[in-house]
Amino acid sequence: MRQAMRTDDGRAAAEAAAICADLIRFDTVNRGEGAARPERPAAEHVAALLAEAGAEPRIVESAPGRASVLARLPGTDPGHPAFLVHGHLDVVPADPAEWTVPPFSGEVRDGCVWGRGAIDMKGSLAMTLAVVRRRLREGRRTRGDLVLAFLADEECTGEYGSRYVAREHREFFTGCTEAISESGGFSVDAGEVRVYPVATGERGTAWMRLTARGTAGHGSKPAPDNAVAELAHAVSRLAAHPWPVRLTPGVRALLDGLADALGTTIDHGRLDEEAVRLGGAGRLFAGTIRNTANPTRLDAGYKVNVVPGTATAQVDGRYLPGTGEEFLATVDRLLGPKVAREFINHEEAPAADPAGPTFAALADALRAEDPAARPVPYVMAGGTDAKAFHRIGITSYGFAPLRLGPGLDYLGMFHGVDERVPLDGLAFGTRVLDRFLDTR
């Protein structure tokens, strides 16, 4: 039966490429803090594709134009847990002057679909849509209900997207305990094997606003209570801090998996050097062996000869699971008593089971399509909508499967220039996703 179902693979792959190109052409740039293009036109396109195949999608808006699409496809066993596949419609900005092709053209060139969102994550949405449409056409259902969420605002805080639907449309996710989404399942060439990191966690998010207050005055006079200087010293201390290595269970599982897959040993006492030695495989843990706090913005003053009374900065803080209290205590110590800290966005670090049946099913689907695949658990340095669903008891795995050719730097294309996804990678991904959904 399974072999007979493979005859429509080519159509699903071609459909994924076409949908990806179409989605890229919708400008859904999210600049953060409410400054975003409406996702509504892209959401309507997604809803139409689902409805055409027989689903009953629902568009929900958190604010005018900030739209997400939800759909629930009934399974064959009402008592079986439902499963969620979620992804985001918005993208980060792109400067056309820096790109080889216009970033919102969806152009197909050199065997790839090019454009902002090809990797992050309209290519993954396209694979999901192509697979779901195929399964609907063929009358194939998962055992439990299959829940789909195409979301707004992931590239900011998710307040207009995943947080909104998890809070205001909680009933849509009844019975869901697990999910898949972005940033995992891609290939990393490592000699004779291909490592496929499947995300089982991510670092927590602590975006912070720092404020220093002092005495305003004339720029020509002594200013011992200078807010700008106080903030500059605090930010410098924070940026220079050598955060210690913290090997969480998820990171240890990744290191063990890589060592086994690569047939090598990894010295846990020299992980920075090991990350360099292992090349692409080393990049999988280089950003997740310690907490980080990167200053990203400074604002103060309005005239060169005026000492301002306040100065502010913004910091992107990320912390590993189980280290949140230690992280914030260290930040406060480095800032000192004269700099106040408040959260812009604070999310706990979610984690999934790398030894459970869902991880095994994801790994099996990869190996079925690529015999050289060596799936390993992976902790993401950044964050995703998984955090919002974690709040309501849904555990997410990062799984947007792609087999990549040489010269395509998957991690570098996230928010980078000349983002593109290979056509044969999309074909591979549709086959893997279809196999995996057969286990749900």
Rounded mean pLDDT, 168-182: 96
Distance from C-alpha of 407 to C-alpha of 83, rounded to nearest angstrom: 34
pLDDT (0 to 100) of residue 308: 95
How many other C-beta atoms lie within 10 A of the C-beta of residue 136?
16
Beta bridge partners of 201: 351, 379
The CA distances from residue 149 to 58, 85, 164, 386, in Å, are 10, 6, 12, 12
pLDDT band for 411, please (50, 70, 90 cuts).
confident
- End-to-end Cα separation, the chain, in angstroms: 17
Residue 83: helix, strand or coil by DSSP? Answer: strand
Give the distance, in angstroms, between the CA of residue 108 and the centroid of all CA atoms in the same chain.
24
Show the tokens assigned to 33.
Answer: 């803090």
How many other C-beta atoms lie within 10 A of the C-beta of residue 113?
30
| Most confident residue range from 33-37, 318-322, 397-401 | 397-401
Is the Cβ–Cβ distance between 362 and 186 less than 8 Å?
no
pLDDT (0 to 100) of residue 407: 78
Distance from C-alpha of 285 to C-alpha of 297, rounded to nearest angstrom: 26
For residue range 125-164, list pLDDT tens digits in order: 999 999 999 999 999 999 999 999 999 999 999 999 999 9
Rounded mean pLDDT, 410-423: 90
Distance from C-alpha of 180 to C-alpha of 205, rounded to nearest angstrom: 20
In sign, the C-alpha dihedral spanning 404, 407, 413, 418 is negative
How many other C-beta atoms lie within 10 A of the C-beta of residue 330?
18
Whether the predicted pLDDT of 6 surpasses 60: no
* Amino acid identity at 13: A
pLDDT (0 to 100) of residue 124: 97
Strands 146-151 and 82-88: parallel
pLDDT band for 2, please (50, 70, 90 cuts).
very low
Is the Cβ–Cβ distance between 144 and 81 less than 8 Å?
yes
Nearest to 260 by CA among 376, 379, 380, 378: 376
CATH 1.10.3720.10 describes domain 4-183+384-437: no
> Please, what is the average pLDDT of the chain?
93
pLDDT (0 to 100) of residue 4: 41
Whether the predicted pLDDT of 272 surpasses 50: yes
Distance from C-alpha of 213 to C-alpha of 211, rounded to nearest angstrom: 7
Strands 310-319 and 108-109: unpaired
For residue range 197-233, list pLDDT tens digits in order: 999 999 999 999 999 999 999 999 988 899 999 999 9
* Amino acid identity at 211: T
Q: Where in the chain is the domain with CATH 3.40.630.10?
A: 4-183+384-437
What are the DSSP calls for 16-81, one per residue?
HHHHHHHHHTS--BB-STT-B--SHHHHHHHHHHHHHTT---EEEEEETTEEEEEEEE--S-TTSP
Rounded mean pLDDT, 357-364: 97
Distance from C-alpha of 52 to C-alpha of 73, rounded to nearest angstrom: 14
Q: Would you give the DSSP letter of residue 402?
A: B
Is the Cβ–Cβ distance between 178 and 396 less than 8 Å?
yes
Nearest to 228 by CA among 343, 339, 341, 344: 339
Rounded mean pLDDT, 117-122: 96
Q: Where in the chain is the domain with CATH 3.30.70.360?
A: 201-347
Give the distance, in angstroms, between the CA of residue 110 and the centroid of all CA atoms in the same chain.
26
| Fold category of 201-347 in CATH | Alpha-Beta Plaits (3.30.70)
pLDDT (0 to 100) of residue 3: 44
Q: Is the pTM of this model over 0.95?
A: no
Find all residues with CB under 8 Å of 97, minimum gap 6, and list them.
none
pLDDT (0 to 100) of residue 8: 65
pLDDT band for 33, please (50, 70, 90 cuts).
confident
Rounded mean pLDDT, 94-101: 96
How many other C-beta atoms lie within 10 A of the C-beta of residue 270?
12
- Range with the poorest average pLDDT among 8-17, 26-35, 210-219, 228-237: 8-17
Give the distance, in angstroms, between the CA of residue 412 and the centroid of all CA atoms in the same chain.
13
pLDDT (0 to 100) of residue 223: 85
